[in-house]
Amino acid sequence: MERTARPDAVRAVMAVSPAGRRFWAIVCALVVLALVARARPGPRTSDDAFITFRYSRNLTDGLGFVYNPGVHTLGTTPPLWAMLMSATAVLTGGRDFPHYAIWWSALADALSAVLLFVLARRLIANDWVAALPGLLHALAPMSVTFAVGGMETSLVTLWMLAAFALYALAPPDEAPSRRRLREAAVGLLGAFAVLTRVDSLLWLAPLLGWQMLEALRQRRLPWATWAALAAVLLPFALWSWSTFGSPLPNSVTAKRFAYAVAPLDALAGLVRNYANLFSAYNLYGSVGTMVSGVIVLAGSLLAFSGSARRLPRLLPLLAYPWLYFVVFAIANPLMFRWYFAPPLPVLMLATFAGLWGLAAALLRERGRRALPALVGAAGALALASTLTAWTLAPDHGPARPAPKMAWHALELLYERMGRLLVERYGVTADTRVASADIGASGYFSGATIVDTVGLVTPELTRYYPVDPALLADDQIYAIPPQLILDQQPAFLVTMEGFVREGLARDPAFLAQYALVEAFPFPYYGTEMQLWQRRG
């Protein structure tokens, strides 16, 4: 009996070389792993994400791009992320922003893991070793934490890696028309990145500078990139200026006035997170973390020489983590956890590219067969310590495996407070509620928020900096008493540590406000408090 002919698709797959099948197997594995690692933990939304979601909800409901209806202030750092969440709500007909954020972040991180693999293949002559940066990014506790936390970090990473992949992997003999199209795409990705997080300029500027120098040597200008940038950023800047009075998010500057940050605090945080790139402390302790830090630094430096020989256009990307390090160490802002995340995938790529180059130089020709096993062993150690940063049974939130750092007990308590304001105290959209953390409490109460930090109420930054005497011993923030006395909100939601040395001792405040709720909580003081204006 004559055999049935195979379908064309099957013949095409069978015709792929073993190297091609290995490549696609790795790509599929990275995608599945990244998607599952972000879908499984469930929403563990951070407080700042709820600020963005409130903008998204108001935009979806026709109230405009505002936090408090009728008040035009750009108080969310990632405007493009907020608009993407709103667009998703319109398309789905729902308002489940925490899950929308996970969907988009999971997709972005899956693509980023693949891009890390694709870029690593140009610096590492072994597919299995080249897959390590993508594998570790797929499982990285910081990446997963902010993906399930509703933050924009995953999208920022994707814009960056996609822009560099388009630029660095361009064929040298590319036709001018295709080159211009590629350059325009790089410009669009750069513009999207800036609108997602303005500190994306720290990788975009080196890329544009390198591209300009390269183009000038060829006696041309990369006008397509700049035209694409202008086509996106200029309209947004004009709209933002006319609507909000500035193209920059107010949240960028407000935090600098409100918080008392110790000298060199950002530097210490950056050193700690760069050294602990693969969560080495969990498994190997302080000594292991120091060794990890030396390996990350050495690998990153050695990656420059390998890239200069094999892929010079990748050099600006490899420089980005260190430019980021210097800028933030000098600026010394209060480093929220998600501030450390953007450079880490690049550090993973650089570390393994550098280790590969170093091992290849040491082993020379006779030991080349041991090269993948040697670098792969380092990858196995990094993977082992990364997995210890996960827990199978979190003590709060959904009872599913999640990174240990995806801690959101405070947000759950703020959610409880927001719902309590509505259900027990009859708070409406017209009720004025003051709070220093305005994310979950503002999102679930729907009240008009008096933001004591000034993210969405920039006029209140005049009350800062506060008198150091108002700061409790273990705190970097205190609510200025005069702010509350002047604004006269109906309610004040606060952590005890924010008022211990100020409002809680102020006779005028105590005469006008009564403590009506207190939930014990061991951070930012001893409890979360709700104060109500008397009468």
Q: What is the pLDDT of residues 80-133, one digit of tens each?
A: 999 999 999 999 999 999 999 999 999 999 999 999 999 999 999 999 999 999
Residues in Cβ contact with 370 at an 8 Å cutoff, skipping those fewer than 6 apart:
363
Stretch 26-31: mean pLDDT: 98
With contact defined as beta carbons under 8 Å apart, do 328 and 321 qualify?
no
7 phi and psi angles, rounded to 5 deg: -60, 155
75-79, 87-91, 171-175, 278-282: least confidently modelled range: 171-175
pLDDT band at 206 (very low <50, low <70, confident <90, very high): very high
Q: How far apart are CA 458 and CA 486, in angstroms?
A: 15
List for the chain the helix, strand, coil content (%; round to 5). 65, 5, 30
Query: Listing from the earlier edge strand, what are the strands of the sheet with 432-435?
Result: 448-451, 432-435, 491-495, 527-533, 513-520
Beta partners for 434?
450, 492
Would you state the pLDDT for residue 363? 85
Tell me the percentage of the chain whose pLDDT exceeds 70. 96
Q: What is the pLDDT of residues 292-316, one digit of tens each?
A: 999 999 999 999 999 999 999 999 9
Give the pTM: 0.94
pLDDT band at 408 (very low <50, low <70, confident <90, very high): very high
pLDDT above 50: residue 347: yes
Q: How many angstroms separate the most distant Cα atoms in the chain?
A: 99
Tokens 């994310």 map to which residue?
Answer: 439
Q: What is the pLDDT of residues 145-191, one digit of tens each?
A: 999 999 999 999 999 999 999 999 999 889 999 999 999 999 999 99
DSSP H/E element including 513? strand 513-520
pLDDT band at 57 (very low <50, low <70, confident <90, very high): very high
Would you state the pLDDT for residue 368? 73
Q: What is the pLDDT of residues 240-263, one digit of tens each?
A: 999 999 888 887 778 888 898 999
Indicate the average pLDDT of the chain: 94
User: Distances from the Cα of 376 to the Cαs of 58, 118, 380, 504, in angstroms?
Assistant: 49, 17, 6, 57
Would you state the pLDDT for residue 3? 42
Tell me the percentage of the chain whose pLDDT exceeds 90. 90
pLDDT band at 367 (very low <50, low <70, confident <90, very high): low
Alpha carbon dihedral 452, 495, 524, 404, in 10-degree steps, equals -100
Would you state the pLDDT for residue 25? 96
Instruction: Report cis status (omega within 30 of 0) of the bond before 522.
Output: no
Would you state the pLDDT for residue 8? 57
Stretch 469-483: mean pLDDT: 95
Q: How far apart are CA 134 and CA 113, in angstroms?
A: 4
User: Distances from the Cα of 81 to the Cαs of 90, 151, 197, 415, in angstroms?
Assistant: 14, 9, 9, 22
DSSP H/E element including 224? helix 223-244
- For residue 288, the tally of other CB atoms under 10 A from its CB is 18
Q: How far apart are CA 342 and CA 261, in angstroms?
A: 21
- For residue 429, the tally of other CB atoms under 10 A from its CB is 11
Specify the long-range contacts of residues 354-357, CB closer than 8 Å, at least 24 apart: 354/298, 354/299, 354/300, 354/301, 354/302, 354/303, 354/306, 355/295, 355/299, 355/302, 356/123, 356/124, 356/125, 356/126, 356/129, 356/306, 357/123, 357/302, 357/303, 357/305, 357/306
pLDDT above 90: residue 16: no
Q: How far apart are CA 56 and CA 88, in angstroms?
A: 10
Q: How far apart are CA 264 and CA 267, in angstroms?
A: 5
Would you state the pLDDT for residue 459? 92
User: Distances from the Cα of 168 to the Cαs of 269, 317, 412, in angstroms?
Assistant: 31, 10, 44
pLDDT above 50: residue 78: yes
Stretch 182-206: mean pLDDT: 97
Stretch 22-47: mean pLDDT: 97
Q: How far apart are CA 494 and CA 513, in angstroms?
A: 13
Would you state the pLDDT for residue 251? 78
